[in-house]
Chain A
Amino acid sequence: DAGVIQSPRHEVTEMGQEVTLRCKPISGHDYLFWYRQTMMRGLELLIYFNNNVPIDDSGMPEDRFSAKMPNASFSTLKIQPSEPRDSAVYFCASTEPVGNTIYFGEGSWLTVV
């Protein structure tokens, strides 16, 4: 199994540009999570999906952030427009329907200048 796959691994963009982060969960997992990690706040949950439906987006910082899951094998996290304070590592994770383990991707390292 290839695990949770995220792209891009690294992105540097200018303030005001649109950023799209992508995630492919492990096949058969029906929960998908997007996390953001910074030094100050640690690992924060932004949003999670169950069977492609957003369940809780209370962690999404503001309207500039949006997430979609058009099918069971793909999700996107979009930031538009991006700001320097959005610089962080963004992790996607997935879990089995009744499993106990959350599997994380390797993260997307975003720098907004």
Chain B
Amino acid sequence: DAKTTQPNSMESNEEEPVHLPCNHSTISGTDYIHWYRQLPSQGPEYVIHGLTSNVNNRMASLAIAEDRKSSTLILHRATLRDAAVYYCILYSGGYQKVTFGIGTKLQVIP
């Protein structure tokens, strides 16, 4: 399995932008970069994904390095509800074994 590396934890002030990094130096050409988040006492939920180009949706933005060996999830204005564990994973489709690991625990400070 291609692996990802994320910081164990990060802090952000409320209303400030947050940049969550992810390294994936062994990414293959068919791997999509996915981000999920897990709110307390809930299952992980999909946030965003991309292949090569930067992506935006109502929840976040995803910035992908030109060599695709790293990416950054951007929350433009952190709210207390964004406090969660964020997972960066590589995923090529339903046939592939998908591992999530530890993720980054984001703390939002009021």
Q: What is A's interface to B at a CB cutoff of 8 Å?
A: 4, 30-31, 33, 35, 41-45, 48, 50, 55-56, 91, 93, 95-107
Contact = CB atoms under 8 A, between A and B. Distances in A.
Interface residues of B, number: 22
A98 B94 contact: yes
A3 B44 CA distance: 13
B46 to A, nearest CB: 5
A106 B34 contact: no
Contacts, number: 60
Contacts of A30: 94
A104 B100 contact: no
A102 B99 contact: no
Given A43-B87, A107-B42, 14 more contacts: A30-B94, A33-B98, A42-B103, A43-B44, A50-B94, A55-B95, A56-B97, A91-B43, A93-B43, A93-B44, A95-B94, A102-B44, A102-B91, A104-B44
